[in-house]
């Protein structure tokens, strides 16, 4: 017997959730340009990706520039990332890397 709920469960087995954090060191924090760069990068991945300034949340969709700008993270704050999906590890690695590189702006 293979009903829809069983199929959904089987798909979830292949999913992974990955978390990481990065210190926001660029001078302007998470303003317009860095927000757009972060969301453009996040959109390259199929995984669900979220960001927060606290490990406890609230979590924000990393693929939405407007929502990311509302995070209003400043220099010195820690950005927490979590992703779930087949390419979650690659997504988190790329996002932490761009934050560490100060969004290639400095």
31 has catalytic annotation: yes
Q: Which residues contact 56 (CB under 8 A, 6 or more apart)?
A: none
Catalytic site residue from 29, 31, 89, 90: 31
Give the Cα separation of 79 and 86 in Å (integer). 22
Beta-carbon neighbour count of residue 60 at 10 Å?
A: 18
Active-site positions read: 31
């Amino acid at each position: 017997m293979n009903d829809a709920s069983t199929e959904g469960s089987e798909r979830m087995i292949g999913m992974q959730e990955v978390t990481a954090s990065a210190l926001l060191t660029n001078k302007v924090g998470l303003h317009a340009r860095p927000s757009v760069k972060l969301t453009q990068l996040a959109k390259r991945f199929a995984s669900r990706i979220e960001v927060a300034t606290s490990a406890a949340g609230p979590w924000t969709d990393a693929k939405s520039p407007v929502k990311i700008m509302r995070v209003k993270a400043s220099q010195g704050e820690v950005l927490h990332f979590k992703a779930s999906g087949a390419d979650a590890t690659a997504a988190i690695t790329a996002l932490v890397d761009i934050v560490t590189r100060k969004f290639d702006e400095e």
